[in-house]
Homo-oligomer: A and B are copies of this chain.
Amino acid sequence: MTSMPTPDPSAERPADRVAIVGTGLIGTSIAMAAARAGCTVRGWDIDPDVAARAAARSGLTACTTVNEAVTGADLVIISTPIGAVARSVSAALRAAPDAVVADAASIKEHVVAEVHAMADPQDLPRYVPSHPLGGSERSGPEHASASVVDGIVWAVTPTDEVEPEAVGRLEGWIGRIGAQPVRLSPERHDRLVAFASHLPQVASTSLMGLAATEEAGEPEILLLAAGGFRDLTRLAASNPSLWSEILVANRDRVASAIDLYVSRLVAIRDEVLEGRGADVERTFDEAKRARLTLATKPTVRAGVAVVQVEIPDEPGALARITAVLGDGRVNIEDLQIVHSPEGGRGTVHLTVAAATAEEASHVLAAGGYDPIRLA
């Protein structure tokens, strides 16, 4: 890459000219974060109307062909559906010989294999597989926001063929637009997301499907379903065609993760059925300790802290706590009313930037609350 002509030798910034191929919610959100960081952004979508709406939302320049969008780019991000990634990567590598081309698909090994089968081998040193772990339950450029990218983990999963400088250009740009690059191999990425993302999705969908089937004969089942059931089935409302594509593409690892999960379920089942209360308690205790450790770790969003506060159950209680923090100029990243296994309430988990956690606790204490920092 050092021998490649630099489009603007005076520029210190590694990727000023960015092209987005596929301008749905994630592509347009990336465009907005890039524009905010001073990049010029061009975009293309297979649906010209989507590209036009992305342009209206983000200010990117909508192009009528992929070639027009990527020509002269320093960096191309392919954010199409998985099935179109390899074709788009190959076309972009060909049309933009100075560009690093990265994709944003949520599985990697399958996509890498497709790209390697389709692209010109001499272009492969410039192809960096990646996966920004951000999104929204909405879709379409109308709902895009730079905040979708802020602070997220962006997995960067280069193969051996990739030039180190291509990886560096992408990683530097990821940090510049506000996300956090995390490097790992495609195989490892796919194995980890099978546990951390794909298995939870399958577990949630299976639970909801089972309850729905049972409900046909027992309409009152959901009357007895408390907050815990709601927590566990929230993911079941996710996009079926997207998930079908992801799971099938990562099939071996997903199947292995399900197998391990089933083994654990069967082990607990046997402990329960045989009345081995002490074993059940030990199993639950191990999981509880792991979950409490998880509460002390940031998950996808780096640099956040969680503060727990009890609030009274009365009108205006949430308005008061959010106003106290607003007056204290502390931004709330997230707020959750924590549900117990059987549906209590009154405890709030506030997620704030780690840098403001001490200030948040101070502001809350001054406001008469008794904050407990969890993470």
Chain A residues within 8 Å of B, Cβ to Cβ? 106, 133-138, 143, 145, 147-148, 150, 152-153, 155, 182, 184, 188-189, 191-193, 195-197, 199-212, 214-215, 218, 220-238, 240-241, 243-245, 247-248, 251-252, 254-255, 257-262, 264-266, 268-269, 272-273, 275-278, 280-288, 290-295, 297, 299-301, 310, 313-316, 318-320, 322-323, 325-326, 329, 331-347
Contacts and interface: CB of A to CB of B under 8 A. Distances in A.
Contacts of A334: 337, 345
B240 A211 contact: no
Given A135-B343, A228-B234, 20 more contacts: A135-B342, A196-B224, A196-B225, A202-B265, A212-B293, A222-B299, A223-B299, A233-B287, A240-B280, A244-B284, A248-B272, A255-B272, A258-B268, A262-B265, A301-B343, A318-B322, A319-B323, A333-B345, A334-B337, A335-B335
In terms of DSSP, what is the predominant structure of the interface of chain A? helix
A261 B272 contact: no
A264 B210 contact: yes
Nearest to A215: B290
Given A182-B223, A224-B197, A288-B237, A332 B344 contact: no
Contacts of A220: 182, 184, 188, 192
Q: How many copies does the complex hold?
A: 2
B214 A197 contact: no
B245 A209 contact: no
Contacts of A345: 136, 147, 333-334
A252 B21 CA distance: 54
Nearest to A279: B244
A265 B255 CA distance: 10
Contact of A272 (B210, B247, B266): B247
A300 B188 CA distance: 41
B288 A240 contact: yes
A184 to B, nearest CB: 7
Contacts of A322: 316, 318-319, 322-323
* Interface-centre pick from A200, A243, A254 (highest chain B CB count, 10 A): A200
B208 A192 contact: no
Contacts of A283: 205, 209
A149 to B, nearest CB: 10
B145 A292 contact: no
A136 B236 contact: no
Nearest to A234: B231
